[in-house]
């Protein structure tokens, strides 16, 4: 039968090897996660650049023709193009948000707000309805 000292030594050895493995796993996962984050950032930058280039080129070549020339699926080209358009819309909306001014007042309406909206209902008093005999 093992002595109390021997039991303590065995547990310590077992814990030590487990701790080494846990530390190695944590280190490897951390390194891989950092590499993944860097790769994701690089892909985002590339997709933004692809979208910007596509938008700039639309006046001389359309997506279908570009897909034919490059063998890049039109679906990919369209996705990059649309992601660029949607990110532009998000940036524009964010700048014209509903935040208050420094004095606590609501900002004035956007310059693009329609000013010539016509009410479809007739204005003025209504004529009485005629009864039919």
Give per-residue pLDDT as tens, 31-59.
999 999 999 999 999 999 999 999 999 99
Burial annotation 85-113 (CB, 10 A radius, 16+ → b, else e): eeeeeeeeeeeeeeeeeeeeeeeeeeeee
Residue 130 reports pLDDT greater than 60 = no
> What pTM does this model have?
0.52
Instruction: Note the pLDDT tens digit of each residue in 90-123.
Output: 555 555 554 444 444 444 444 444 444 444 444 5
* The predicted structure's pLDDT at residue 107: 46
Taking the alpha carbons at both ends of the chain, their separation in whole angstroms is 118
Per-domain residue ranges of the chain: 13-93
Q: Are 111 and 100 in contact (CB under 8 A)?
A: no
Tokens encoding 8: 């303590």
């Amino acid at each position: 039968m093992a002595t109390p000292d021997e039991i303590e030594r065995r547990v310590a050895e077992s814990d030590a090897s487990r701790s080494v493995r846990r530390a190695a796993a944590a280190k490897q996962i951390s390194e891989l996660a950092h590499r993944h984050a860097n790769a994701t950032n690089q892909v985002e930058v590339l997709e933004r650049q692809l979208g910007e280039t596509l938008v700039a080129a639309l006046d001389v070549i359309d997506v279908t023709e570009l897909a034919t020339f490059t063998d890049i699926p039109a679906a990919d080209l369209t996705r990059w193009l649309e992601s660029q358009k949607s990110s532009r819309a998000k940036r524009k909306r964010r700048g014209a948000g509903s935040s208050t001014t420094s004095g606590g007042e609501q900002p004035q309406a956007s310059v693009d707000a329609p000013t010539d909206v016509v009410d479809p209902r007739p204005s003025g008093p209504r004529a009485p309805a005629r009864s039919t005999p």
